[in-house]
Amino acid sequence: MKNLKIAIQKSGRLNEKSVQLLKNCGLDFENYKSSLITTVSNFNLEILFLRDDDIPGYVEEGIADLGIVGENVIDETESKVTYLQRLGFGKCTLKLAIPKDSDIQDLKDLNGKSIATSYPVILQNFLAEYNIQADIQEISGSVEIAPGLGLSDAICDIVSTGGTLKSNGLKPFADVRKSEAILIGRDGLEENEILCELLQRIQSVLRAKETKYVVLNVEKSNLPLITELLHGVKSPTVVPLAEEGWVAVHTVISEDDFWGKINRLKSAGAQGIVVMPIEKIIL
Ligand code: ATP
Ligand code: ZN
C-alpha cells in the first residue's frame, strides 16, 4: 500500500503536541532533527516537517495527504482542504485589542481607523461582516508594539493569556476567531484505508484523554447510590473484596465532571478512590 504523507509543524507551538499525538497513536518514528521528511517504521505513513503557514497549501495541492495545523492558518490562507478531526490542542483566540486609553468603544468606532495584524484575510472578512471600513496594516511579527509606535490605532492578533497585551498597554476589545489544531486532508482521501485506521487511532487517543479510570471501595449497602452516580462506558464492574460486605467498583468517567463526581462519590460512602489515566479507548 502506498504511504500517506502527513505534514506537521517542524518547530513552534504545535510541534510537540503533534508529535506526541502521533506517538500516542503507536507510531514509531524519529523526531525532526534536520531532515524534512521521516518514515514511520510501523505504519504506512511519512511525516513532513514544515512551517505551519505552508501546511494548508501543501495539503491542498496534494504534496501532503494530511496535515496538522491551526484553524487560523487554514482560514488565513483560504485553502480548500477537508476538516477531518479537531485535536483539542493549540487553542487560542484571534482578538482585536486597543490601547488602554483609546476612545474606541464599539466595533463601528473602528471605521476609518488603522489596524495592524499578521492576519489580513481573517480580519478583512470579519470587518466586512460588520460593514466596517478600516485600514489594515499587514505586519509579520510583534504586532502588539504597533499602536505604541504610532503605526496603528488597534491590533488584531492571537491572544492566549493577555499578558503580552497588558505589558504593551493594550486591552482586548473583541474576539475575531477562536482556533485550535485540526487534522486536515486533501480532497478525495475520505475512503482511504490508511486514513481510516489513523483516524480511528487518533479518536481513541482523544477519547482516552477526556476520561479517567476510577477504582473505589464501597460497602455493599451503598452500592446502588454509587452505581447511580457512575455512568461508565457500560455499567461499572463490581468485584467482591476479601472483607465481607465490601466491593470494589471499576469504571470510566469523563474528565469534565471529575471533581464534582469524586466529591459526590465520597459522600455516598466511597473509600480508597484511585484515579488513573487511560491510554486508549477503542469502541
Ligand atoms: P512557523 O515557524 O511554523 O511559521 P509560527 O511562528 O507562525 O510558526 P507559532 O507561534 O508556533 O507559529 O504558532 C503556531 C500555531 O499555534 C498558531 O497558528 C496558532 O494556531 C496556535 N497557537 C496557540 N496558542 C498560541 C499563542 N498564544 N500564540 C500564537 N499562536 C498560538
Ligand atoms: Zn507560521
- Verify that 145 and 186 share a domain, yes or no: no
Give 9 Cα–ligand 2 centroid separation in angstroms.
Answer: 9
Same domain, 54 and 186: yes
Which comes out higher in pLDDT, residue 65 or 228? 65
My answer on whether 86 and 110 are in the same domain is no
How high is the mean pLDDT of the chain?
93
Same domain membership, residue 166 and residue 97: yes
DSSP label of 244:
T
Same domain, 186 and 69: yes
* Residue pair 66/84 in contact by the 8 Å Cβ criterion: yes
- CATH of residue 59's domain is 3.40.190.10
Q: Is 151 a member of any domain?
A: yes
Please report whether residue 269 resides in a domain.
Answer: yes
Closest among 151, 25, 10 to 85, alpha carbons compared: 25
Task: Give the residue, by CA position, lying nearest to ligand 1 atom 29.
Answer: 158
Encode 161-208 in three state secondary structure.
CCHHHHHCCEEEEEEEEEECEEEEECCCCCCCHHHHHHHHHHHHHHHH
- Beta-carbon count within 10 A of 173 CB: 22
Q: Is residue 205 part of a domain?
A: no
Give the pLDDT band (50/70/90) at residue 255. Answer: confident
Determine the distance separating the centroid of ligand 2 and the alpha carbon of 12, expressed in angstroms.
8
% of the chain at pLDDT higher than 70: 99
- Do 234 and 173 reside in the same domain of the chain? no
If one counts the domains in the chain, the total is 3
46 and 186 in a single domain? The answer is yes
Ligand 1 site-directed mutation target among 71, 92, 155, most atoms within 8 Å of CB: 92
Q: Are residues 129 and 240 in the same domain?
A: no
What is the CA(141)–ligand 2 centre distance, in A? Answer: 10
Q: Which residue has the cell 446502588?
A: 224
Give the CATH number for residue 263.
Answer: 3.30.70.120
Please tell me whether residues 44 and 175 are part of one structural domain: no
Name the DSSP class of 113: -
Which of 5-9, 120-124, 203-207, 260-264 bottoms out in mean pLDDT, i.e. has the lowest?
260-264
Ligand 1, atom 24: closest residue by C-alpha: 92
- Helix (H) or strand (E) run with residue 268 in it: none
Domain that holds residue 86: 4-90+180-190
Residue 199 in any domain: the answer is no
Query: Does the pLDDT of residue 107 top 90, yes or no?
Result: yes
Same domain, yes or no: 185 and 174: no
